[in-house]
Structure 1
Amino acid sequence: MIKRLVLALAAGGILISASACNTVKGVGRDIESVGKAGERAIN
Structure 2
Amino acid sequence: MKNKVILVMLLSIAAMSAGCNTVAGAGKDIQRGGEKIEGAATK
For normalisation by structure 2, the TM-score amounts to 0.49
Name the structure, 1 or 2, with higher relative contact order (CA <8 Å, separation 6+): 1
Structure richer in helix, relative to its length: 2
> Which structure would you say has the larger Rg?
2
TM-score, normalisation: structure 1: 0.49
